[in-house]
C-alpha cells in the first residue's frame, strides 16, 4: 500500500517535478550551455539567438542573459499534465526575452521570483493556463507581445508589484489581463474578444487601452480594490463596459460606447470627463454606493448621449441646465453635464458682447 501511495504521488506531481527536466538551459559560460545546440551564443552580450524551431522548453540559467528567438517557434506537448513552461525564469534579473513564438505549453512564458526583466515582441498562443505569467515578480516590463487563443485561461497574469504592461495585443482568452499585485501600470494595450478584458488591482493605472468586444466585462476593478485610476481608455461593444466596485477609484477621459451597460458603480468612485455614448443603459449605481461626478463646478461632469444633445442650456455655459434626469432609476446624480462630447477640452474666447455655443471639442 505504501509503495502504491508513493507511486501515485509521483504521478500526480510529475508535471511539477519534471516540468523542466527535458528543457534546454541557457547559461552564462563560453558556449551558453544548451544554446550551442539550439542557436548561436554571443558571450560578449550574453545573447542566445535561436537558429531554428525548438520542441522543448527553455530555461534561463543565469542573470543578464538575452534570449532572441529570431522569429522561431518553441512548441510544447499540448494539453498534458507535464506540458510545463515554454520559457522559464526562476529568481532571475536583467533578462530579455524577445522575438519568440511560444505555443502548446501549460505556461507560455513564466517568471517566478524574478525582477527587472523585459518580455517583448513575442507571440504566445494556445498555451492552456497562461500565455504570460508573473509569480511574485516585481518591476518587470511586458510589452509589444501578441497573446491569443486561451479560452480557459489568462493572456497575462501578473503576480508582483510595480510591473509595467504596455502595447500588447491580447485576444481570445478567458481573461485578457489580470493583475494580482499592486502598483501595476496597464497602458496602450489592445484587449479584444476575451471574456473579461482587464481585471485590475490596488493603486494601479489603467490608461490608454482599447478594450473592445469582450463578452462579459471590458475593465473591472472589483471589491477590495483601492486607489486605482482608469483614464483615456476606449471601452466599446462589451456586455459591461466599466465596472467600478472598489474604493477611492477615479475614472476620467474615457470613451464608453455601445456597451450593453456602459458604467456600473459600487462603493466609492469619482467619475468625470467621460463620454458615455450609445450604451443600451448608460450607467447604473448600486444602492448605498457613493460617487462623485465632478471635481469642481468649473471642471464639470460627463457627457451622456441619451440626454446631452437635447438638453436645455439657456445661459450658454455648455452645461445642461438640469442634472441627469435618470437619478431615480439609475441612481446617477451628475449635476454638471456637458452638452458636447469632450466639452472639457473646449476653450471659447469671445468679445464681451457676443455669446457662442460649442458644438464640438475643436473650437478655440
Q: What is the pLDDT of residue 263?
A: 96
Q: What is the pLDDT of residue 191?
A: 99
Task: Let me know if residue 43 belongs to a domain.
Answer: no
Q: Exposed, middle or buried: residue 99 (CB in 10 Å: 0-12, 13-18, 19+)?
A: middle
Task: Let me know if residue 363 belongs to a domain.
Answer: no
Q: Which domain holds residue 151?
A: 70-345
Task: Let me know if residue 54 belongs to a domain.
Answer: no
Strand 47-50 vs strand 39-42: parallel, antiparallel, or unpaired? antiparallel
Say which CATH number the domain at 283 has.
2.160.20.10
The half-sphere exposure of 327 on its side-chain side, counting CA atoms within 13 A, is 9
Q: Exposed, middle or buried: residue 347 (CB in 10 Å: 0-12, 13-18, 19+)?
A: exposed
Whole-angstrom distance, CA of residue 220 vs CA of residue 178: 10
Q: What is the pLDDT of residue 327?
A: 60
Q: What is the pLDDT of residue 133?
A: 98
Model pLDDT for residues 8-35, shown as the tens digit of each residue: 333 333 333 334 556 999 999 999 999 9
Model pLDDT for residues 87-141, shown as the tens digit of each residue: 999 999 999 999 999 999 999 999 999 999 999 999 999 999 999 999 999 999 9
Q: What is the pLDDT of residue 360?
A: 58
Whole-angstrom distance, CA of residue 128 vs CA of residue 110: 13
Q: Exposed, middle or buried: residue 362 (CB in 10 Å: 0-12, 13-18, 19+)?
A: exposed
Task: Let me know if residue 167 belongs to a domain.
Answer: yes
The domain total for the chain is 1
Task: Let me know if residue 195 belongs to a domain.
Answer: yes
Residue 315, CA distances (Å) to 148, 207, 273, 299, 355 in order: 52, 35, 21, 17, 9
Task: Let me know if residue 203 belongs to a domain.
Answer: yes
Q: What is the pLDDT of residue 127?
A: 94
pTM beyond cutoff 0.85: yes
Residue 12: Cβ within 10 Å count: 11
Task: Let me know if residue 12 belongs to a domain.
Answer: no
Closest by Cα among 239, 225, 300 to 267: 225
Q: What is the pLDDT of residue 358?
A: 54
Q: Are 223 and 244 in contact (CB under 8 A)?
A: no
Task: Let me know if residue 4 belongs to a domain.
Answer: no
The parts of the chain modelled with pLDDT lower than 70 are 1-22, 80-81, 326-331, 347-364
Q: What is the pLDDT of residue 287?
A: 74
| Set of cell numbers at residue 39 | 542557436
Contacts of 289 (CB under 8 A, 6+ apart): 265, 266, 267, 268, 269, 331
Amino acid at each position: 500500500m505504501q509503495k502504491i501511495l508513493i507511486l501515485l504521488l509521483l504521478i500526480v506531481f510529475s508535471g511539477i517535478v519534471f516540468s523542466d527536466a527535458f528543457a534546454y538551459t541557457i547559461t552564462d559560460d563560453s558556449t551558453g550551455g544548451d544554446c550551442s545546440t539550439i542557436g548561436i551564443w554571443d558571450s560578449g552580450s550574453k545573447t542566445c539567438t535561436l537558429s531554428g524551431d525548438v520542441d522543448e522548453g527553455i530555461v534561463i540559467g543565469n542573470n543578464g542573459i538575452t534570449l532572441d528567438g529570431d522569429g522561431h517557434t518553441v512548441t510544447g506537448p499540448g494539453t498534458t499534465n507535464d506540458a510545463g513552461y515554454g520559457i522559464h525564469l526562476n529568481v532571475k534579473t536583467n533578462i530579455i526575452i524577445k522575438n519568440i513564438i511560444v505555443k502548446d505549453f501549460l505556461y507560455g512564458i513564466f517568471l517566478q521570483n524574478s525582477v527587472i526583466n523585459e518580455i517583448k515582441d513575442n507571440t504566445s498562443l494556445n498555451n492552456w493556463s497562461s500565455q504570460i505569467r508573473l509569480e511574485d515578480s516585481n518591476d518587470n516590463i511586458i510589452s509589444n507581445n501578441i497573446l491569443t487563443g486561451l479560452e480557459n485561461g489568462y493572456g497575462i497574469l501578473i503576480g508582483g508589484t510595480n510591473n509595467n504592461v504596455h502595447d500588447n495585443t491580447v485576444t481570445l482568452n478567458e481573461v485578457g489581463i489580470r493583475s494580482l499585485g499592486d502598483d501595476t501600470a496597464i497602458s496602450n494595450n489592445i484587449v479584444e474578444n476575451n471574456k473579461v478584458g482587464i481585471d485590475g488591482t490596488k493603486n494601479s493605472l489603467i490608461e490608454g487601452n482599447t478594450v473592445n468586444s469582450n463578452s462579459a466585462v471590458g475593465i473591472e476593478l472589483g471589491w477590495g480594490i483601492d486607489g486605482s485610476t482608469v483614464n483615456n481608455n476606449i471601452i466599446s461593444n462589451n456586455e459591461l463596459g466599466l465596472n467600478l466596485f472598489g474604493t477611492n477609484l477615479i475614472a476620467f477621459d474615457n470613451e464608453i460606447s455601445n456597451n450593453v451597460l456602459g458604467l456600473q458603480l459600487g462603493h466609492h468612485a469619482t467619475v468625470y470627463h467621460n463620454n458615455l455614448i450609445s450604451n443600451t443603459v448608460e450607467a447604473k449605481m448600486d444602492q448605498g454606493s457613493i460617487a462623485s461626478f465632478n471635481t469642481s463646478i468649473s471642471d464639470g461632469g460627463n457627457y451622456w448621449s441619451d440626454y446631452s444633445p437635447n438638453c436645455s442650456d439657456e445661459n450658454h455655459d455648455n452645461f445642461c441646465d438640469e442634472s441627469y434626469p435618470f437619478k431615480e432609476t439609475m441612481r446617477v446624480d451628475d449635476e454638471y453635464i456637458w452638452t458636447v462630447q469632450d466639452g472639457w477640452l473646449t476653450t471659447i474666447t469671445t468679445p464681451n458682447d457676443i455669446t457662442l455655443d460649442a458644438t464640438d471639442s475643436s473650437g478655440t
